Structure 1
Amino acid sequence: MNSVNTNPYNLPSDAVLMLPRPIVTGCSSGIGREIASLIASKPNLRLIATARDISSLSYLPDDTSNVFKVELNVTSVDSIDAAFVAAAKHFGENFYLDVAVNNAGYSLSGDTESATEEEINQEMQTLFFGTARVTMRAIGVMRQHKEHRGGLIFNISSLAGLIGLPGHAYYHAAKFAVEGFSESVAREVHPDWNINICIVEPSGVKTNFEGHSKARTKPHPAYAAKDMPARKLEFYVNMGIKSGVGMLAPSSIADSLFAIADRGERVPLRLPLGPTAWKMGKSKFEGLLGEWDAVKELSFMGKEA
């Protein structure tokens, strides 16, 4: 299996960074706002800030050509294409893109058996297909300039992209899809293109995610009892949200991503963020190795032809 992100990545001093944002929350808060604010505070860097509702970008300055605001709906191919065309027009015919951050998403939680087709499709369109569309459009820009070829794409997954928990099946499905897609594409691009992909896996974040970016399925009576796994998890999750214990500050995530881009070292394919994500992810993989060892004899019964 070929390696990924093989060469050190160096963020150009005049880099252009693009931040596709979620449909539901726009750029008004959370991780995206912190990243955008950090980039906008650096006078040599150029920022393409996107949102479905451009008014949510009012916190960014309007008096500099280094910050370009554009509407973008990640569920629409036409909208994505139009945003790239507009950015190219703003920055000139030699437009290039150094870093893209795919942070589009909202959680669909609740009783999976009651999820509607519309809820399922919207979740997958936003979290997975939106990320995939912008990723491939960004790669097309990053590889086309031989004198400025290369770039870095951060695809924001989650601890939910590593571990499946009750009551969030389609959210997990979308994040697992982002992980598999990102790993495959990272192995597909030619090493000479110097295009790097980093799958970011934060645990809980102190944002308005729970209040404004969390959709719920209709409760199903078969899952209503307090001893149901999803109800137990909800209880502990709500306790954690209220207390804030173990939750990551959005600014710390922004700082981590910028450090990865700016440190001049090899980009990791996966970046668990926070002690909770690191510990739970490590435990999951260690447990998986144990499960594989337990079925080794059965596995080897399937002899290769």
Structure 2
Amino acid sequence: MSSARVWFITGTSSGFGLQMARCALAHGDRVVATLRKPEVLSDFASKYTPEQLLVTRLDVTKPDEIKAAFAKAKEVFGRVDVVFNNAGYTLTGEAEGVPDDVARDLFEVDFWGAAHVSQEAVRFFRDENKPQGGRLIQNSAAVGLIATPMMGFYCSAKHALEGFTDTLSKEIDPSWNIKISSVLPGGFVTELIQKFQMMPQHPAYVGETNPAGIFRKFFGEGRDKDIMMSRWSDPEKGVQKIYELSQLPSPPLRLLLGKDCNAYIAEYLEQVTREVKEYASWSDDLQFAGN
């Protein structure tokens, strides 16, 4: 156990968070599993010893709880080697149809919560770990680089997280021995299939040819789980790839995870490349001429 790494994982009640905890423990590492309701993991926790697993409360929208959870991790295990920043949820609805308070609540978790965990992770890796260093892995999404109908605010939160993560990776001193990566999963068969928070339909977007309406029909009450399972990826296999990412000496800034994600982003990059080539000349005569 002395050579085992310590994982700090947010949002372990289900989905990628719980699967990542299982994966790390199966590899002989130790895990700090954090979530808003620790009692949810009672059965899971009973399978492991206190030397292997610490389950502790953390609501990522509360900075004091973030600091307390990291402090508890140090108290129990002495350090944190890998932070898997996973807590979040999905909100769907036309951009015109999502109330401000609902959208702001999403940002509090998916962006601000992730940003505050990231800040504390970097501080902890630098100031608390002996020897210095650690790995921060953001669980972002394919829509952090691309966009899809009905997910405007979720896409925006993930875009913001991508910008924050990219900036943070450029600011840290190489001597701190901190590695930062962002994982961008495509579709994975997790509890997400049944947990889309979908807002009521905006009346202007009703219609069989409306892109938002088509998306709503597929992911609404009539969604076909079997179709999704045939097209989407296996989260158990996905977290194994994330575990392998955590072991790379020079990890990429971004890991695109899933064939669908790679295809969508390849198409997006082709579009951007075409637009750059077609309109680059518009910038030729923009030099500042002075007074």
Of 269, 278, 284, 1:285 maps to 269
Letter of the 1:76 partner, please give it. Answer: K
Deviation at 1:63, TM superposition (A): 2.8
Distance verdict in 2 for CA 1:70–1:145, change over 3 Å: closer
- 2:214 aligns with 232
- 1:217 aligns with 199
- Report the TM-score, using the length of structure 1 for normalisation: 0.87
Distance 2:70 2:102 in 1: 28
Deviation at 1:237, TM superposition (A): 5.5
Count of matched residue pairs:
283
Partner deviation per Cα, 1:146-194 (whole Å, 9 max, x = no partner): 7411111110111111111111100000000111000000000001112
- 2:55 aligns with 69
- 2:69 aligns with 83
User: Within the alignment, does 1:186 sit opposite 2:172 as a pair?
Assistant: no
Distance 1:186 1:121 in 2: 26
Letter of the 1:233 partner, please give it. Answer: F
Deviation at 1:41, TM superposition (A): 2.4
Alignment of structure 1 residues 120-199 onto 2, 5 Å: 120-145=103-128, 147-199=130-182
Contact 2:95-2:150 at 8 Å conserved across structures? yes
Letter of the 2:52 partner, please give it. Answer: N
Deviation at 1:292, TM superposition (A): 1.1
Deviation at 1:240, TM superposition (A): 6.8
Distance 2:186 2:75 in 1: 37
Distance 1:67 1:17 in 2: 10
Structure 1, 238-247 or 131-140: larger mean CA deviation: 238-247
Of 8, 19, 24, 2:9 maps to 19
- 1:34 aligns with 19
Distance verdict in 2 for CA 1:275–1:304, change over 3 Å: farther
Distance verdict in 2 for CA 1:17–1:281, change over 3 Å: same
Contact 1:99-1:152 at 8 Å conserved across structures? yes
User: Within the alignment, does 1:201 sit opposite 2:184 as a pair?
Assistant: yes
Deviation at 1:294, TM superposition (A): 1.1
Structure 2, unmatched stretches of 5+, are none
Letter of the 2:216 partner, please give it. Answer: E
Distance 1:143 1:69 in 2: 24
Partner deviation per Cα, 1:213-241 (whole Å, 9 max, x = no partner): x2122221111122211112334557674
Contact 2:140-2:182 at 8 Å conserved across structures? yes
Contact 1:18-1:97 at 8 Å conserved across structures? yes
Deviation at 1:86, TM superposition (A): 2.0
Deviation at 1:62, TM superposition (A): 4.9
Distance verdict in 2 for CA 1:50–1:146, change over 3 Å: closer
Distance 1:252 1:63 in 2: 25
- 1:300 aligns with 284
Deviation at 1:125, TM superposition (A): 0.7
Distance verdict in 2 for CA 1:115–1:248, change over 3 Å: same
Distance verdict in 2 for CA 1:291–1:240, change over 3 Å: farther
Distance 1:248 1:121 in 2: 30
SS of residue paired to 2:161? helix
Contact 1:112-1:217 at 8 Å conserved across structures? no
- Report the TM-score, using the length of structure 2 for normalisation: 0.91
Root-mean-square deviation (Å):
1.9
Distance 2:6 2:189 in 1: 27
Partner deviation per Cα, 1:234-254 (whole Å, 9 max, x = no partner): 345576743112211111111
Distance 2:136 2:184 in 1: 14
Task: Select the structure with the greater relative contact order (CA < 8 A; seq sep ≥ 6).
Answer: 1
Alignment of structure 1 residues 100-119 onto 2, 5 Å: 100-119=83-102
- 1:5 aligns with none
Deviation at 1:301, TM superposition (A): 2.8
Letter of the 2:5 partner, please give it. Answer: A
Distance verdict in 2 for CA 1:293–1:236, change over 3 Å: farther
Contact 1:51-1:57 at 8 Å conserved across structures? no
Contact 2:73-2:80 at 8 Å conserved across structures? no
